[in-house]
């Protein structure tokens, strides 16, 4: 007779698995796939953005992907969060404008790619030549540059079509990241990076779509990274899964939305944020061809006065957003403090503007991705109170850009970055912009932007862009309701130096383990080098300039 297994036995086995004591291994794996205890020297980051390519010249650094690249590559410059257009030195230690269309870079000596190749002006020129030949997603951000000349082994000259005050900033993003020229023809360069960065990608231990392992590069040129921890990047697409992983100790920091940040804060985790994007609507049908009422600035202004921004910031974003009326965030080029509250919450005025325009009711449709429906439903409710019927059409996430390029809707709802007017003008408001499908032209903003973009005079640029955004706001070419935060939650007992970057991700290069949680890493420091850099970095090092910064 066959033996049968009593029903409770499998259940008991399942219960047993819940207790590490039942485990056949006691290797410190408190969770399942994610190491928890045995690797205290590792920073474990939960991201929503899957790695797409390690080839920086074919990568789109905005709004995602950049964090992977900055671990394994160095740029000619490095992002300065506080002042993006004054980048930090990196592989270029200094630069000088020879004239308005020529810039000379002095390159760092003693740097080698991980394949042993030397970094010098020839390597830098080869990278720039490759960048321009490949014409990747970000080529338009360095389109002013047409050639690079080697002046000597560590001096490079860049030739521009026109003055470009944003070039150095963009050379700190993917276009300026340096790949070993010997690896240009590697068929798997997109999966196997060959840079000079402070971390090495451990491809053998990594699984795309699940976890990417990065280990410190022992030969990295900047001693400020000697205490760099290993970094594991966990690709967890679901916001709630990332929060759960943090709570259960499987990761140390995560990108989340406001819905997850609020409970994380209540549970004692630290929340850091940066207002990187705006929430609102960009008016595509600015002449009212598709929706006649939209051609009247008074109607568009009514859309602004009808909405209680603070209420939406509190109720939908849990406070991780701030009311505003302008696209550019405070401290950024083009921001005008006087525009901040241009649209107050004034439904009576909104109604009066509609009456002035001769409209009893006004109906239009907005395309909204599923994840943004709640905030647009809140706007919808406010608009309804003044007689505006805003209909929401839910669209696929991947189709939002294509729809914005079409003439199917009078507005688009893309939340653009809020700090880089030089990049926004040609994408959104210019007569030739991809997201200006009706070809609307405003000579004022064309002139102001062209002058600003081609000038190295910061005062002129500030003045022009301030005037530019006065037009954008008052004529309501884009209607902005809120500046919204990108959010990172983290275990503050373990990590220090966590800051949100300009593109959703945290500044991974800066994150360090707090003293006492990084014992293994501390033992790796070479005594001689430690003598040269006696204080271990409690805070992350800023990018070193010509002289190496020690902590």
Partner 1 sequence: MLKLLAARIVGLAPLLLIVSFLTFLMLHLVPGDIRDIILGVDATPEQYEELGEKLGLDDPFVVQYGRWLFKAVQGDLGTSAYNSQTVVDAVLDTLPVTLSLTFGGMLVGIVIGVPAGVYAGLHRGGPVDRAAVLGATIGQALPNFWVAIILVIPFALWWQLLPATGFTPPTESVTEWLRSIALAAVALGTSASAALARQTRGAVIDVLGTDYIRTARAKGLSERTVTFRHALKNAAVPIVTTIGFQVNGLLGGALIVEQVFGLNGFGSLAIDAVRTQNIPIMQGVVMMGTLVIVAVNIAVDIAYGYVNPRMRPA
DSSP 224-274: GGTTPPEEEEEE---HHHHHHHHHTTS-SEEEE-HHHHHHHHHTT-EEEEE
Of 141 and 196, nearer to partner 1 (C-beta) is 141
Told to check if 37 binds partner 1 by CB under 8 A, we report no
Told to check if 496 binds partner 1 by CB under 8 A, we report no
Piece of 182-190, 324-332, 463-471, 530-538 that binds partner 1 (CB under 8 A): 182-190
In angstroms, the CA 195 to CA 211 distance is 20
- What six digits make up the tokens of 324? 């505003």
Instruction: Out of 94, 209, 358, 389, point to the residue binding partner 1 (CB under 8 A).
Output: 209
Binding mask 393-432 for partner 1 (x = CB under 8 A): --xxxxxxxxx-x--------x-x------x--xx----x
Is the Cα dihedral 390, 396, 397, 400 positive or negative?
Answer: negative
Report the nearest approach of partner 1 to the CB of residue 474 (Å).
Answer: 24
- What six digits make up the tokens of 206? 């990594």
Report the nearest approach of partner 1 to the CB of residue 356 (Å).
Answer: 35
By DSSP bridging, strand 42-47 and strand 230-235 are: parallel
Of 12 and 315, nearer to partner 1 (C-beta) is 12
The DSSP output letter for 182 is: G
Cβ proximity of 327 and 420 under 8 Å: no
Report the nearest approach of partner 1 to the CB of residue 391 (Å).
Answer: 18
Report the nearest approach of partner 1 to the CB of residue 507 (Å).
Answer: 20
Instruction: Out of 83, 94, 238, 361, point to the residue binding partner 1 (CB under 8 A).
Output: 238
Instruction: Out of 151, 237, 287, 519, point to the residue binding partner 1 (CB under 8 A).
Output: 237
Piece of 113-121, 154-162, 239-247, 273-281 that binds partner 1 (CB under 8 A): 239-247
In angstroms, the CA 47 to CA 133 distance is 31
Cβ proximity of 193 and 28 under 8 Å: no
Of 208 and 538, nearer to partner 1 (C-beta) is 208
Of 227 and 252, nearer to partner 1 (C-beta) is 252
Told to check if 263 binds partner 1 by CB under 8 A, we report no
- What six digits make up the tokens of 307? 């909405």
Q: Which of residues 79-138 bind partner 1 (CB under 8 A)?
A: 135, 137-138
Told to check if 158 binds partner 1 by CB under 8 A, we report no
Cβ proximity of 508 and 231 under 8 Å: yes
Told to check if 371 binds partner 1 by CB under 8 A, we report no
* Cα R_g (the chain), whole angstroms: 26
In angstroms, the CA 282 to CA 261 distance is 28
Told to check if 12 binds partner 1 by CB under 8 A, we report no
Place of tokens 């001096």: 155
Cβ proximity of 415 and 278 under 8 Å: yes
């Amino acid at each position: 007779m066959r033996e049968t297994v009593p029903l409770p036995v499998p259940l008991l086995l399942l219960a047993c698995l819940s207790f590490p004591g039942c485990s056949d291994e006691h290797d410190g794996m408190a969770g399942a796939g994610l190491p928890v205890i045995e690797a205290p020297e590792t920073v474990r980051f939960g991201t929503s953005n899957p790695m797409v390519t390690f080839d920086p010249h074919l990568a789109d650094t905005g709004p995602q992907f950049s964090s992977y690249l900055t671990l394994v590559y160095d740029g000619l410059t490095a992002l300065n969060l506080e002042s993006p257009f004054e980048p930090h030195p990196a592989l270029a230690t200094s630069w000088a404008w020879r004239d308005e269309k020529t810039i000379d870079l002095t390159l760092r000596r003693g740097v080698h790619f991980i394949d042993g190749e030397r970094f010098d002006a020839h390597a830098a020129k080869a990278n720039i030549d490759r960048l321009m030949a490949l014409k990747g997603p970000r080529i338009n951000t360095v389109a002013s540059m047409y050639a690079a000349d080697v002046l000597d082994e560590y001096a490079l000259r860049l030739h521009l079509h026109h003055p470009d005050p944003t070039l150095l900033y963009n050379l700190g993003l993917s276009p300026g990241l340096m790949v070993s020229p010997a690896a240009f023809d590697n068929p798997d360069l997109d999966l196997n990076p060959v840079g000079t960065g402070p971390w090495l990608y451990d491809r053998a231990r990594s699984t795309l779509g699940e976890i990417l392992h990065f280990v410190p590069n022992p030969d990295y040129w900047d001693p400020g990274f000697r205490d760099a921890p290993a970094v594991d990047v966990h690709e967890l697409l679901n916001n709630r899964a990332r929060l759960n992983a943090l709570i259960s100790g499987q990761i140390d920091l995560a990108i989340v939305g406001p819905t997850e940040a609020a409970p994380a804060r209540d549970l004692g985790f630290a929340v850091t944020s940066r207002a990187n994007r705006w929430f609102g609507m960009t008016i595509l049908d600015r002449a009212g061809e598709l929706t006649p009422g939209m051609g009247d600035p008074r109607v568009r202004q009514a859309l602004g006065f009808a909405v209680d921004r603070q209420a939406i910031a509190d109720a939908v974003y849990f406070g991780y957003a701030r009311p505003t009326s302008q696209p550019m965030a405070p401290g950024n080029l083009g921001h005008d403090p006087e525009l901040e509250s241009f649209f107050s919450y004034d439904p009576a005025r909104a109604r009066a503007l509609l009456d002035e325009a001769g409209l009893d009711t006004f109906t239009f449709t907005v395309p909204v991705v599923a994840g943004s429906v709640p905030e647009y439903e809140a706007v919808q409710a406010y608009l309804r109170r003044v007689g505006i019927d805003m209909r929401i059409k839910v669209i696929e996430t991947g189709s939002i850009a294509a729809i914005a390029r079409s003439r199917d809707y009078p507005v688009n709802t893309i939340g653009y970055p809020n700090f880089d007017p030089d990049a926004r003008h040609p994408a959104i408001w210019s007569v030739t912009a991809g997201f200006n499908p009706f070809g609307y032209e405003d000579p004022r903003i064309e002139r102001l932007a062209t002058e600003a973009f081609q000038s190295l005079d910061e005062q002129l640029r500030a003045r022009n862009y301030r005037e530019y955004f006065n037009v954008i706001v008052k004529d309501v070419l884009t209607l902005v309701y809120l500046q919204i935060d990108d959010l990172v939650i983290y275990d503050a007992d373990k990590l220090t130096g966590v800051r949100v970057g300009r593109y959703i991700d945290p500044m991974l290069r800066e994150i360090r383990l707090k003293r006492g949680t990084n014992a293994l890493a501390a033992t790796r420091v070479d005594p001689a080098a430690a003598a040269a850099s006696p204080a271990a970095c409690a805070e992350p090092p800023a990018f070193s300039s010509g002289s190496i910064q020690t902590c």
